[in-house]
Amino acid sequence: MRDITRSEQLWTRARKHLAAGVSSNIRLQERPAPLYFSHGKGSRLFDVDGNEYIDYVAAYGPLILGHSHPELVEAVQRQVALGQTYGGQHEIEVEVAEKICALVPAMDVVRFCGSGSEANHALFRLARAYTGRTKIVRFEGHYHGWLDDQIISDHPHSEEEAGALPFPQPVLGSKGQLPHAAGETLVLPWNDLDAFSRLMEREGQNVAAVITEPIMCNGGFILPKPGFLEGLRDICTRESSLLIFDEVITGFRADLHGAQGLLGVTPDLVTLGKAVANGFPLSVFGGRRDTMDLVGSGVMHGGTYNGNPITLAAANATLDVLSRDNGAVYEQIRAVGRSLMAGIRQAAQAAGQSVLVQGIGPVLFAWFTDLSEITTFRDNWACDEDKYAVFQGKLINRGVRTIPSGRWYVSAAHTEEDVRQTVDAVGQALKEM
């Protein structure tokens, strides 16, 4: 076992004055205990006991360039010396808005805020104002944030809880949530166009917006079936409901132009977060000009920290690096990610373990299951989560840090040598299980 004494001491201390010892409930899943980190560089993260990790958590998604990319550090340092926040306008926010609108097909106009949850909340309000309707359609296994009308059916555990297909019941995700929080939410299985079509025939005239991750990343990595997103697009247009792509994970990760660029389907509205500022707290919502025109003329959206110049300087540098040579860095990330996926599969086969890996490289998912493919959220129920937790613990003990649920993020800083060392660790861990 690696020595994590100092982390354990800090963990004990933290629980006295920091609620549950962490700043986000998601981090409570970490085993053997939440670790404390001192610094990160490139693909590597270092804990307070001096242990080094190849980091595939990537701060739960943002670190598309890895830790402390020199161009980003320089841009942020330059801006810090010029002031921390102005509560007023500045040139970098104009530049970043222009760059994002040039890169993301659906975005004519954007607004900046601080988290993906907030940005999705703003879009729900905007869609309701634009359409004069109240219902939001969402999909089982997708995560859109932790707010009352968002944390619904993101991770139901059984059919008993979630109800029978094709029309599940909404499942609330938190104690203290308003009992009627899901009153305006309609939940569907993802990748089932027939169910969507039937629901919209019945309810379309009440549906303000349909929100989807264009690639399911939270409930396992699942690509849309051919025609599924196109079907959502057509039916939303027919019913005059707005289609929202939640690209908080996939934006600037799946591709320079987002999953919408990769898959060739353009929504009405989009949320970006995570990778857009490589670790600085920025989210973006935006879309068609005629919808976004309502922001500032009737639809309230505010925030003391919105458009913070340090965060925007980070986004500006991140976007410059990512868009260099027409996004050439994505080819490199995809190639390293593909090597990693192939390596995990080979190591599992050699160890006689049934491990399924799905992904596109920059983001991938691994499960312990006999299934040959995962195509719906409910397929996750046939996978062994407890075994994965043991595997993840064994990996971290060998210097490979991954997300406990099974998701892995590959960044521009990861190399083939990182992959080689990772696959070695994966092989050793699996042989012990």
Ligand X SMILES: Cc1ncc(COP(=O)(O)O)c(C=O)c1O
Nearest distance from C-beta of residue 326 to ligand X, angstroms: 26
Least distance from C-beta 45 to ligand X, angstroms?
Answer: 19
Specify whether 53 is catalytic: no
Using the minimum distance from each CB to ligand X, give the nearer residue, 145 or 427.
145
| Least distance from ligand X to the Cβ atom of residue 284, Å | 11
Q: Which residue is nearest to ligand X (CB)?
A: 116
Restricted to residues 231-260, the positions that interact with ligand X (CB under 6 A) are: 246, 248-249
- Cis peptide bond upstream of 168, omega within 30: no
Residues 138-197 that bind ligand X (CB under 6 A): 143-145
Catalytic residue among 143, 330, 388, 409: 143
Min CB(291)–ligand X separation in Å: 19
When the beta carbons of 26 and 129 are compared against ligand X, the nearer one is: 26
Footprint (CB under 6 A) of ligand X, residues 50-89: 60
Give yes or no for residue 273 binding ligand X (CB under 6 A). yes
213 near ligand X (CB under 6 A) = yes
> Can residue 306 be called a binding residue for ligand X (CB under 6 A)?
no
Task: Give the binding-site size for ligand X (rule: CB under 6 A).
Answer: 15
Cα 320 from chain centroid (whole Å): 21
Q: Which is nearer to ligand X, 283 or 318 (CB)?
A: 283
Q: Does 219 bind ligand X (CB under 6 A)?
A: no
The nearer residue to ligand X, 173 or 204, going by C-beta atoms, is 173
Q: Over the Cα atoms of the chain, what is R_g?
A: 21
The answer to whether 387 is a known catalytic residue is: no
C-beta of 161: minimal distance to ligand X in Å?
21
Our answer to whether residue 274 is catalytic in this structure is: yes
Residue 295: strand pairing partners: 299
Strands 407-409 and 363-368 come out as antiparallel
Given the residues 47, 135, 149, 274, the one annotated as active site: 274
Phi then psi for residue 128, to 5 deg, are -70, -40
Q: Are 265 and 229 in contact (CB under 8 A)?
A: yes
425 binds ligand X (CB under 6 A): no
**Any contact of residue 218 with ligand X (CB under 6 A)?**
yes
Q: Using the minimum distance from each CB to ligand X, give the nearer residue, 279 or 343.
A: 279
- The contact pattern for ligand X, residues 88-117, with x = CB under 6 A and - = no contact, is ---------------------------xxx
Number of residues that make up the chain: 433
Residues annotated as catalytic (active site), given as ranges: 143, 246, 274
In the complex, the residues that contact ligand X under the rule CB under 6 A are: 60, 115-117, 120, 143-145, 213, 218, 246, 248-249, 273, 283
